[in-house]
Structure 1
Amino acid sequence: MTNAPTDILHATHSALRKNGYAELTMQDIADETDLSKASIHYHYDCKHDLLVAFLDHLYERFTARIEDPDGESPSERLRSLVDTVVTDRPENSAFQTALLEIKAQSPYDDAFRERLRRFDDTFAAAAREIVAEGVAEGAFRDDVDPDAVASFLTTYVNGAQVRYVSVGHPLEVSAAEVHAYIDETVLAESDPAPGESATPPPERADTGGSSE
């Protein structure tokens, strides 16, 4: 037995990929389902109401994706959190472009802005929690401000997504750059980045004798 509202939300995803935000119509969404346009209007009065519900749907998926970042240490979990948002993107670039179009409407649309803010707030809260944990454990520098780092990372991942959609800047490069920020700004000296030794190797004794 199908669930019409869920089917409509999935159809909205497909229709946005094909048509973008500006050109999207309720008929485009109906064409992606076995439902009629009138049936979609039964559940959602207009395209705007449907897109608000679609953002709620995306938010539920987003929170599930970032709920438990991989990694044993705070630094590994922080990198994993960033990678999940920046590089682990199941949606294609056409869908990302459509989302950027929706974001561009948020300054003029309270419902869009409220829902987009939830994405930022949730990501920032997750980053803040990991950074605070890392500071408490001594894995991160004791002068690191979890709020400041969370704010920076939230701004950065948003910018990485916009840069990818607008000029094609590779997401993997953006992720590598933010990893470098974590290594250089957040990590305590005694907490190595993945693949690095916690302490430098001992200097080898000079066994070749003096050249003088």
Structure 2
Amino acid sequence: MKKITLTLFVIAAVGNLAAHIIENADLSFYTKPFLMPLLMVYFSVSSVEKKSLLNFGLLALLFSWAGDVVLMFQDRGELYFMMGLGSFLLAHVIYIFTYKKARWEEEENGLLPTQKIRYVFILVLAGCGLVYVLLPKLGELTIPVIIYASIIVAMTIFALNRFGFTSQTSFGLVFLGAVLFMMSDSILAINKFMEPLPIAGFWIMLTYILAQFTIVQGLLLHKKREPSS
């Protein structure tokens, strides 16, 4: 079941990415809604030690799916974009709680305080820089976009804070996924509010699909630490 679900997810992902390259709106429309449900099934049937971690992760994917579907109709009005933004905002908040569940109680070879400050500064600077560039174009969406940008930066910082509280592989995949999520949303925002980018849909979905998959895979690789002898 695990391999079958993963194969179907890859097929849906490749189909959706190909749709953006060949500009086939129908193929994109019919593949996108299957991405997160398939990833949810894959997450469910894979080995997860903590039921609460599974539930939080599935809830984040569920709100992501809702955001995916709603944003498919954003050309019908700004309300759909706002609803999609709200769905993803909730997904990021839930991911924050998920990351807090996927941590050891005690730190092991964690980051030094100066290192944490440095990396957090880079993430905050990236988020603030994007908002600053977009600000003249946001209009009535200024406050919602600032709130959303703050939450996704916070989500990425919480992913960073797992360093030393999980295995290197689990940390690396989850943090990579969080950064890719920031990249995906940044491309989407620039494409929507500033100027259309070449095959923007492809790059948005590529970074988004990779983000969700690497986060899920990283969470699956989080294991309870064996007690030291």
TM range (shorter): 0.3 to 0.5
Name the one with the larger helix percent: 2
Provide TM-score, normalisation by structure 1: 0.32
The higher radius of gyration belongs to 1
Provide TM-score, normalisation by structure 2: 0.30
